Amino acid sequence: MIGESNHHIIRQVMGSNRHVNTNTESVDNYLKAILVLSGPDERAVASTALAQRLGVAPASVTNMLQKLAAAAKPYVEYEKHRGVRLAPEGKRRALEILRHHRLIETFLYEILDYPIEEVHEEAERLEHFISERFEERIAAKLGHPKFDPHGHCIPAMDGKMPRQASIPLSSVDRDGRFVVDSVSDQNSALLKRLQASGVAPGAPVQVVRRSPGEFALRAGGSTRALILPRDLADAVRIRSGD
Amino acid sequence: MIGESNHHIIRQVMGSNRHVNTNTESVDNYLKAILVLSGPDERAVASTALAQRLGVAPASVTNMLQKLAAAAKPYVEYEKHRGVRLAPEGKRRALEILRHHRLIETFLYEILDYPIEEVHEEAERLEHFISERFEERIAAKLGHPKFDPHGHCIPAMDGKMPRQASIPLSSVDRDGRFVVDSVSDQNSALLKRLQASGVAPGAPVQVVRRSPGEFALRAGGSTRALILPRDLADAVRIRSGD
DNA sequence: GCCTGCAATTAGGCGCGCCTAATCGCTTAG
DNA sequence: CTAAGCGATTAGGCGCGCCTAATTGCAGGC
């Protein structure tokens, strides 16, 4: 739980209820998408980008944004044709969901021995439905972890998150030794391959070849180099060796 | 997972999709309610009873039952004015959800140290959203338990459940020694009281007084008797001492 | 055997999130 | 400075689960 109170899934029950219902899974997903797409410097996000990420028609996005902006406590700041930003309440909720997501991933990986490439999908569903108590209990069980199994930072209860100091493999400008900072959770097949090759958060790696289209790296004690096309190389973030 | 394949939450995406969408939380809840209300001998269930249990208008029940009966694989057998029974597919799903529910309760209690009176509410939400893998992993982690923390039997993967051999405290016909079989999860305040008095599944208890309106019992080493009005006494099921 | 009372059903409507089609309006190229 | 192009919005519609109000039909009392 982050910030204020968490009402969970309160579905509209009476047709006579005049209040707009903004506590659904769908809303959560819009807020999460805005959080991610607006990046660390919190740029305004375009409707199209949201539509594409959410797999939804642009008209649906406009519709939802108007609702989110018109709520008593607005979730977003939205001006027509200008894109959208998270309002404080929206940011609070988005970070809460992100915290849920990453805690659940950690939990599935550490306690339930999930293979890493399966944690994301399960967390994606459950993140909307766990209670504050569940959140608190798994955090305690895990020793209040700061990172999930992909190396992503878990937002603290006060919603603060340190800025990332790592760079994508695809933008590295020299060969040499690095440490894996994080791996993307978006492509589970790739994730499985990376795991199998020893490319996991904290692992030392050596970048052995770079070209416009491909990046090659060797992890820990691995003998064979792993060759990643540019688009997949985006999925690995590295930092200089500690 | 029980029996056949489990499609989880597949929401309707296209307006053009002619197939009826029967994979929602709401459907799960209707099926569960029918399972419980039809009792061990699987009597037909009246619309009104369902409506009351689900907190929904009778018209809504009729509506849903028609849909559940009309599906390609019908979930229920339903004839107008005759009540409803689970069809094989409906029973399969209902038992699957019940298995989820009770596994989750056990998990929350054993692994996450929830107070017993809080497990039901959380399980009630999560039971609809966990994957087959999650189900299997928590079952394994718990050593494939046969009973949840209330003493209720957890349906096996093949959907079989032994018939209950216990009776409600309210229908006991003699004073003397018994063993607590199970306690209801419906009233969390009562559950907390029972727990505090040592009335938990497997605990030996002594029935010390019976009257039309009240039942008194003393648990294990407890000094004070616990007095329960008839309606609350329904919540405790006992069997003769083992 | 009819009639009344109540359970159950039908009819019609609502908010939700989504869709498509039509329109609008920024922005940039000529 | 205008016009095209495309991103964004509006308009209208759908299925879902739910509601209320009106109607139907079963069953028990006389």
Tens digits of residue pLDDT in B61-106: 999 999 999 999 999 999 999 999 999 999 999 999 999 999 999 9
Q: How far is the CA of A82 from the C1' of D6 (A)?
A: 15
Query: Mapped to the 3 state alphabet, what secondary structure does chain A carry?
Result: CCCCCCCCCCCCCCCCCCCCCCCCHHHHHHHHHHHHHCCCCCCCECHHHHHHHHCCCHHHHHHHHHHHHHCCCCCEEECCCCCEEECHHHHHHHHHHHHHHHHHHHHHHHCCCCCHHHHHHHHHHHCCCCCHHHHHHHHHHCCCCCECCCCCECCCCCCCCCCCCCEEHHHCCCCEEEEEEEECCCCHHHHHHHHHCCCCCCCEEEEEEECCCEEEEEECCCCCCEEEEHHHHCCEEEEECC
Select from A100, A133, A136, A188 the residue whose CB has the most chain B CBs within 10 Å, as the one to mutate to test that interface. Answer: A133
CB contact under 8 A, A122 and B137: no
pLDDT tens, residue order, chain B (242 aa): 666 443 332 333 333 334 566 779 999 999 999 999 999 899 999 999 999 999 999 999 999 999 999 999 999 999 999 999 999 999 999 999 999 999 999 999 999 999 999 999 999 999 999 999 999 999 999 999 999 999 999 999 877 777 778 999 999 999 999 999 999 999 999 999 999 999 999 999 999 999 988 999 999 777 789 999 999 999 999 999 76
pLDDT in tens, A51-78: 999 999 999 999 999 999 999 999 999 9
B124 three-state secondary structure: helix
Phi, psi (5° rounding) for residue B205? -135, 160
Average pLDDT, chain A: 90
For residue B55, what are its two tokens?
């907190």
Select from B122, B128, B135, B141 the residue whose CB has the most chain A CBs within 10 Å, as the one to mutate to test that interface. Answer: B122
Among chain A residues, CA nearest to B123: A130
Report whether pLDDT(A15) > 80. Answer: no
Measured in angstroms, the CA of A100 and the nearest CA of chain B are apart by 14
CB contact under 8 A, A122 and B114: no
pLDDT attached to residue B1? 66
> Averaged over A89-112, what is the pLDDT?
97
- Contact (Cβ atoms closer than 8 angstroms) between residue B153 and residue B147: yes
pLDDT band at A16 (very low <50, low <70, confident <90, very high): very low
Placement of tokens 């999709």 in the chain: B17
pLDDT attached to residue A1? 66
pLDDT in tens, A171-211: 999 999 999 999 999 999 999 999 999 999 999 999 999 99
pLDDT attached to residue A196? 93
pLDDT attached to residue A157? 83
Q: Which has the minimum average pLDDT: A80-89, A128-137, B81-90, B213-222?
A: B213-222
- Contact (Cβ atoms closer than 8 angstroms) between residue B138 and residue B112: no
Q: Which residue is nearest to nucleotide C15 (CA to C1')?
A: A15
pLDDT attached to residue A100? 98
Which residues interact with strand D by a CB < 7 Å criterion?
A: A 13-15, 46-49, 58-59, 61-63, 65-66, 80-81, 83; B 12, 15, 17, 20-22, 24, 26-27, 54-57, 59-60, 63-64, 67, 80-81
Report whether pLDDT(A109) > 60. Answer: yes
pLDDT attached to residue A242? 66
pLDDT band at A9 (very low <50, low <70, confident <90, very high): very low
> Residue A141: which of B112, B121, B138 has the nearest Cβ?
B112
Q: How far is the CA of A161 from the C1' of D30 (A)?
A: 79
